[in-house]
Structure 1
């Protein structure tokens, strides 16, 4: 991995943890920002996705893993409505550990692909018609972006089924905020 890739991964981990750990208000901006960032990153990082052999299948596997991990991240970040009607989310150690394992796993794979596991990954890629490093990179980018998107969507769904008030049992949509961002 290049220094830029290391910085990007570490920066992503710091951003995710800094913006989600603890109890935080759930706002439209907070839900939309990761989706917007994922869309921009997708446009920038996935301009030339390899499509030969089983590269597309690898991308779908990466996307499916990302969705599953994103749903898990959303479940590890419970939401609740306060007595004043505001919605909050709380993320703690399990949430942080999940992101650390996912981003750390991507870094470990990239580093081992250029080191001790290079021959095994090369042989696996050849026997499964995966065209090379660009295909693996695309699959991991798709996994990361789909994880971010699935976590945001999971949070939206969990907010929408919250009762209108802390005392009510009836699920209602989350009202639009009355104050600016």
Structure 2
């Protein structure tokens, strides 16, 4: 991994810190992780292979990311702040799931560029995966799916909190 790779990984990892302290559910705060992952995708994604079983590999990445993201969102606490705006606070489970997602991608990348390159090449041949660009796309889609699915779950929870707070009281 290059210095840039480490900096991008660190920046994505540091997105968890404000979420653990608690973050207001404004549009800006909600979109920051999406923009960060999209920027990483622009940096890393040179092509989007669709031959062989590349699309199926992408779907596996999306599914894995979505499962992690939904689990993160489900275990994120959301309550109404004193100003009426929903406040989301990630706990230990969310941090661990985020770390699992980040480390699984980073670990795979390390393994692929070191001792696992022969094994991955064989898996790619056996499963009609066209090469490293396909693996890169699947891992980036996994990250994006994790961020988007967590965001969706947290935003739904925040909207419920806000709608309860603004619902008229009936006598």
Q: Deviations 1:24-55 (Å, cap 9, x if unpaired)?
A: 32222211333344445445544511111111
Instruction: Give the aligned partner of residue 179 of structure 1.
Output: none
Report 1:164-179 matches (<5 A). 164-165=164-165
Q: Distance in 1 between matches of 2:45 and 2:91?
A: 32
Moved over 6 A (4+): none
Instruction: Give the aligned partner of residue 129 of structure 1.
Output: 128
| TM-score, reference length from structure 1 | 0.81
Q: Compute the RMSD of aligned alpha carbons.
A: 2.3
Matched, 1:33 2:28: no
Instruction: Give the aligned partner of residue 137 of structure 2.
Output: 138
| TM-score, reference length from structure 2 | 0.85
Q: Distance in 2 between matches of 1:106 and 1:38?
A: 13
| The structure with more helix, counted as a fraction of residues | 2
Q: How many residues get paired?
A: 168
Instruction: Give the aligned partner of residue 91 of structure 1.
Output: 90
The Cα shift of 1:12 comes to 1.0
Q: Is the 8 Å Cα contact of residues 26 and 87 (structure 1) preserved in structure 2?
A: yes
Q: Is the 8 Å Cα contact of residues 83 and 165 (structure 1) preserved in structure 2?
A: no
Q: Flag structure 1 segments of 5+ consecutive residues without an equivalent.
A: 171-181
Q: Distance in 2 between matches of 1:39 and 1:9?
A: 13
Q: Is the 8 Å Cα contact of residues 46 and 133 (structure 2) preserved in structure 1?
A: no
Q: Is the 8 Å Cα contact of residues 82 and 165 (structure 1) preserved in structure 2?
A: no
SS at match of 2:164: coil
Q: Flag structure 2 segments of 5+ consecutive residues without an equivalent.
A: none
